[in-house]
Structure 1
Amino acid sequence: MACLLEAPLRISVLSEVTATSRHYVDRLFDPDPQKVLQGVIDMKNAVIGNNKQKANLIVLGAVPRLLYLLQQSSSSLELRTECAVVLGSLAMGTENNIKSLVDCHIIPALLQGLLCPDLIFIEACLRCLRTVFISPVTPVQLLYTDSTVIPHLMSLLSRSQRTQEYITQIFSHCCKTPEHQTVLFNHGAIQNIAPLLISPSYKVRMQALKCFSVLAYENTQVSMTLVNVLVDGELLSQVFVRMMQRDQPIEMQLTAAKCLTYMCRAGAIRTDDSCIVLKLDHDLKHAHELRQAAFKLYASLGSNDEDIRKKITETENMMDRIVSGLSESSIKVRLAAVRCLHSLSRSVQQLRTSFHDHAVWKPLMKLLQNAPDEVLVMASSTLCNLLLEFSPSKEPILESGVIELLCSLTQSDSPALRVNGIWALMNMAFQADQKVKVEIVRCLGTEQLFRLLSDPDTNVLMKTLGLLRNLLSTRPHIDQIMSSHGKQIMQAVTLILEAEHNIEVKEQTLCILANIADGNSAKELIMTNDDMLQKIKYYMGHSNVKLQLAATFCISNLIWNEEDGSQERQDKLREMGFVDILHKLSQASDPNLSDRAKTAMQQYLA
């Protein structure tokens, strides 16, 4: 079976393929077995740490040939082992490499290789399998396709420390659902893995501990079984307590604490148990402080650097850890976790990938239901980013009934929460369909909308104007909303234009007026309001170019030739002196203002 990459990558890589790369692949087909073996060894040395070379060799078809040699009984054991090593090295490249390897059916080939009695070959196959399975692009279900695989892996645990490390790591990464937990449990995972907790190898102990944490997660059956397990005469819970001591590495402390926490939640250990009260009171407090510090550090590192954000989200299990941090018992940890999430949410790429893949919006919405204000502020800031138009999370968040929650935030005593509530609604209304816009207006209510338009906090006012501007876009939407709330909206616009506000507020308000002027029926609310027309005239002659430009947009929309009633509107505005003003503005030094005025003037000439 041919092994191909996606066409764009294949073309770009092929353009850089060297004669050397082809030579490595050609040597795999040599009739002399010794030359083939030497060719594989040379290939192994060439691909170490060289992603470009790995991609070249994959494109040139090295993978199918390596798998063929690995599976041939006529191949020497040394050759088969070296093939497994090279495949493992190729798997350590990019995610595209992993996809190519999986497409070439590397997993069943390596699993078949585990039936060989030779330990060195088994370890090479397991090392490669481990690398493939810990990649997020590998379907973990491939481990469970053949019912004989799990029991065979259990039987290999006793072979060496390497088999123990690799197999437990595979299990901990491939245990994603209650069904996976059940399969591993039924095949003796607890009895087989428990002794590894006292292995002389730290890597083995750590991977075994991670296995127990994923097995016990929200699983009463596993937790109830764990509580009675003895490891070298010591209860498993005591082993976990020992692993939480401060002289142990931080990763071990946190994972052991996680195991005990899951057992407590399942009712397997009483919360007042002596082994829990002392250790979880002190060590978990220490663990919480460590997690809080870690999340804060990641938040700081990723706040302004896209590359660092990418590295954080690509770190093994990092997104899962951040998401689980949102439901921690410690408020400080929850706050630090959501701060980290907010930092990462500034990335368009992460919103489209990691945030979507991990359904981050679900725990975030849960957090917003009941949290202290400081957590609410950070969580609602993050939600604002998830509601941006290009975020795939926007649709499911909308369907979850978020509008009511956000409208309630706008009534908060905290200016920061009012800003975030209205900001999120503003993002939600951007290019939204009419149903969503109507629901926002209905839920927010006219009174609250205009209360926000007179908010003493300028940020709240600006975001409310932004919401109104997004609501009043697309002609049918403009006409529909203005037919229901036109009188109040025009009153609010009048008040803002007459009050003492900064340039940005006035500009945003004039832009809203320009949107209203773009409606079919809504524009009559301006044309029949001579006081408003005088205000537009005033701002067309203002000293600030931004305000002049926004006001000119209003007039341009009112006199546009292609719309019904344009001649009557043009006549009225000519009588009011707008043509003279447009003529003057067409000679303005600012090119944008000059162009806009000339475009408007052309409507009179057409």
Structure 2
Amino acid sequence: MACLLEAPLRISVLSEVTATSRHYVDRLFDPDPQKVLQGVIDMKNAVIGNNKQKANLIVLGAVPRLLYLLQQGSSSAELRTECAVVLGSLAMGTENNIKSLVDCHIIPALLQGLLCPDLIFIEACLRCLRTVFISPVTPVQLLYTDPTVIPHLMSLLSRSQRTQEYITQIFSHCCKTPEHQTVLFNHGSIQNIAPLLISPSYKVRMQALKCFSVLAYENTQVSMTLVNVLVEGELLSQVFVRMMQRDRPIEMQLTAAKCLTYMCRAGAIKTDDSCIVLKLDHDLKHAHELRQAAFKLYASLGSNDEDIRKKITETENMMDRIVSGLSESSIKVRLAAVRCLHSLSRSVQQLRTSFHDHAVWKPLMKLLQNAPDEVLVMASSTLCNLLLEFSPSKEPILESGVIELLCSLTQSDSPALRVNGIWALMNMAFQADQKVKVEIVRGLGTEQLFRLLSDPDTNVLMKTLGLLRNLLSTRPHIDQIMSSHGKQIMQAVTLILEAEHSIEVKEQTLCILANIADGNTAKELIMTNDDMLQKIKYYMGHLNVKLQLAATFCISNLIWNEEDGSQERQDKLREMGFVDILHKLTQASDPNLCDRAKTAMQQYLA
């Protein structure tokens, strides 16, 4: 039985509803209002940062009770506020949490709560509404169902910096269509939000700016109005220009540039206007720095978070921008764009969707033809992911002649490029047909393969062993490759097992031997090599369980009953003392090793 090298499966475990969660919900029904209040406060502390607890409480029905308490006129202002805070915390969990909250009609309840005069309660309701509405699973149309909602939100803008931040954030996320733009425009959004651009709060300024970017997007009416708006005597376009200055945060510069761009496209600002010429054309270096910074930011944000990667790729035209960044004149921008692409390529879902839809492999392959080493390293790392077995890009990349390119990378002076070249070939060989495997072996050549197996860089060596392990899978493939390259491969295996190498390197090497032992004819290369058999015997008695297991797996394949010549192989290995070793291993403390040894012993008893 051949072993292929692949990533371990991740198993998600459903959380069980705990007694503690039930206790929190039960306290919401206590007849004593003070105990109910304390129960809600305790619940608030319990759910902060705890998605499992949030899910449990939702399953147990906490949401309807919290909404009931929030809407009751007899509830104290403090209780109603704490209920809104807990609901907001529940909304900060998973998308399933948001769906459950929306299904419980949380939005109408919170919007009704905004009619209350208490500012702290209003802020808590708005904070929760903000969290719900910025989720992609919330239907934004729910904000526009009641025609009194938008004007009331406009009236609340003056109450505090928090109401300004939350309301503008809600508007910017819920303005998705020309109809939404019209509703917000008709209710005085421009006049009400413009003063917020000079707020002392950065968050308020930033959310107001984002509002204007979504209002002006492909909207001539809004753009023509914006051009005449004054903010404390200064034209709005000049405010945007100031926000693009290099001492401002990158996010602010980019959003302000977006506003000016939309106004220019709509004809509200002439293309030769000084604010466009000076800021969007002449300062090309600055524009490159902005793009580079933006790509770096997205790369960092998406490096370890699947939800963020999804949001990045779902952002309008984002994938097109990243792809176009691969062919930028600035090397720094190209590097940042490919780094961003590499970050996103860690997602199985994105490899299957966005990367396939935008044919990302084409500009990536073009980039690999001629680029500085630092760009090549990042581009080849990304290519490794695109060549994974489940990636739809794998087939067209194969047809583009990538094997020659990757084989050339393995000859680079840079260890990082050698690793990526061999890593990509390893991924390509996983479950590949014989034609592809033969092309890989032919492209590398026996001499280069041998050089890689003696590479001083451990990462290169490990990936080369991984490649061999994937090449030597499926019996016809094992026999075919070993018939033409068996002598050199066995020589390399011998050298690795004899040299000073890590446990991981030797384990991989023994796994390759186990694969060779699974071949119909290839196994004879082991059986006729007494020196190799003695090495396997040595590792079956090694102190490290991983090495014992891999060596035992090799012997198990050699003595398998159902294959021709098994009796002769069993007899020889019995004479060499392997049966005694297997018998001892059936008493091993490690369950996997014990089971493998018992399986092998059964071949002798059958």
TM-score, scaled relative to structure 1: 0.61
- TM-superposition CA deviations, 1:395-425 (whole Å, max 9, x none): 9999999878755644656553232121133
- Residue 268 of structure 1 corresponds to 268
The alpha-carbon deviation at position 470 of structure 1 amounts to 1.6
Listed as ranges, the gaps of 5+ residues in structure 2 are: none
Q: Where in structure 1 are there 5+ consecutive unaligned residues?
A: none
SS of 1:9's equivalent? coil
Q: CA deviation at 1:99?
A: 5.3
* 215 and 50 in structure 1: CA distance in 2 versus 1, 3 angstrom threshold: same
Question: Cα gap change, 1:592/1:173 in structure 2, threshold over 3 Å: closer, same or farther?
Answer: closer
Deviation at 1:66?
3.2
* CA gap 1:435/1:211 in 2 versus in 1, 3 angstroms: farther
Kept in 1: contact 2:4–2:473 (CA 8 A): no
Q: Find the residue that maps to 1:355 and give its secondary structure.
A: helix
Change (3 A) 1:206 1:598: closer
Asked if the contact 2:411/2:418 (under 8 Å) is kept, the reply is: yes
Note if contact 1:230-1:236 (Cα within 8 Å) is conserved in structure 2: yes
Q: What SS does structure 2 have at the residue aligned with 1:271?
A: coil
Deviation at 1:465, TM superposition (A): 3.5
Moved more, 410-419 or 225-234: 225-234
Structure 1 residue 472, shift from structure 2 partner = 1.0
Is the Cα contact below 8 Å between 1:335 and 1:378 reproduced in 2?
yes
Which deviates more from structure 2 when the two are superposed, residues 211-220 or residues 102-111?
211-220
Instruction: Point out which structure has higher relative CO (alpha carbons under 8 A, 6+ apart).
Output: 2
2:240 counterpart SS class:
helix
> 1:150, 1:538 → 2: CA distance?
78
Once the two structures are TM-superposed, the CA of residue 237 in structure 1 deviates from its matched residue by: 3.9
Between stretches 555-564 and 344-353, larger displacement belongs to 344-353
Offset at residue 602 of structure 1 (A): 9.0
Give the C-alpha shift of residue 557 in structure 1: 3.9
- How has the CA–CA distance of structure 1 residues 601 and 9 changed in structure 2, closer, same or farther, with 3 Å as cutoff? closer
Deviation at 1:355, TM superposition (A): 12
- Check the 8 A contact 1:516/1:522 in 2, yes or no: yes
Deviates more, 1:557-566 or 1:390-399: 390-399
Partner of 2:39: 39
Shift of residue 377, structure 1, vs aligned partner: 0.8
CA positional deviation for 1:166:
1.7
Return closer, same or farther for 1:60/1:440 CA change in 2, 3 Å cut-off: same
The TM-score, its normalising length taken from structure 2, stands at 0.61
Is residue 299–residue 340 contact of structure 2 (8 Å, CA) maintained in 1? yes
How far residue 469 of structure 1 moved from its aligned partner, in angstroms, is: 1.5
Further displaced range: 360-369 or 562-571: 360-369
8 A contact 1:403–1:425 mirrored in 2: yes
SS in 2 for 1:93: coil
Contact 1:4–1:59 (Cα < 8 Å) also in 2: no
CA RMSD in angstroms comes to 9.2
Distance 1:72 1:241, change over 3 A: same
334-343 vs 492-501, which moves further = 492-501
Are the structure 2 counterparts of residues 308 and 135 from structure 1 closer, same or farther at C-alpha, using a change threshold of 3 Å?
closer
Q: Is the 8 A contact 2:2 2:518 kept in 1?
A: no
CA contact (8 A) 2:3 2:473 kept: no
Map residues 44-123 of structure 1 onto 2, 5 A cutoff: 58=58, 61-68=61-68, 70=70, 84=84, 87-88=87-88, 90-91=90-91, 98=98, 100-111=100-111
Taking only the aligned residue pairs, the percentage that are identical comes to 98
Does structure 2 retain, via aligned residues, the 8 Å contact 1:479–1:522? yes
Aligned CA distance change for structure 1 residues 221 and 479 (closer, same or farther; 3 Å): farther
CA distance in 2, matches of 1:25, 1:10: 32
C-alpha spacing 1:228/1:424, structure 2 compared with 1 (3 Å): farther
User: 1:125 offset after TM fit, Å?
Assistant: 3.4
Cα gap change, 1:159/1:478 in structure 2, threshold over 3 Å: closer, same or farther?
same
Of stretches 298-307 and 198-207 in structure 1, the one that deviates more from structure 2 is 298-307
Deviations 1:81-118 (A, max 9, x none): 77545533554577775454334231343346568899
Q: Pick which of 490-499 and 270-279 moved more.
A: 490-499
User: Shift in Å at residue 242 of structure 1?
Assistant: 0.6
Q: Please say if residues 429 and 436 of structure 1, whose CA atoms lie closer than 8 Å, have aligned partners that are also in contact.
A: yes
Distance 1:167 1:380 in 2: 44
Q: Could you say if the C-alpha distance between residues 330 and 71 of structure 1 is closer, same or farther in structure 2, counting changes exceeding 3 Å?
A: farther
C-alpha distance in 1 between matches for 2:210 and 2:275? 20
Match of 1:227 in 2: 227
The 10-residue stretch of structure 1 (225-234 or 60-69) with the greater mean CA deviation from structure 2: 225-234
Greater Cα shift, 422-431 or 542-551: 542-551
Q: Cα deviations across residues 33-56 of structure 1 (Å, max 9, x unaligned)?
A: 999899979988998999999778
Query: Which stretch of structure 1 is more off in the superposition, 422-431 or 255-264?
Result: 255-264
Query: Which residue does 1:478 correspond to in 2?
Result: 478
1:207 CA drift (Å): 0.3
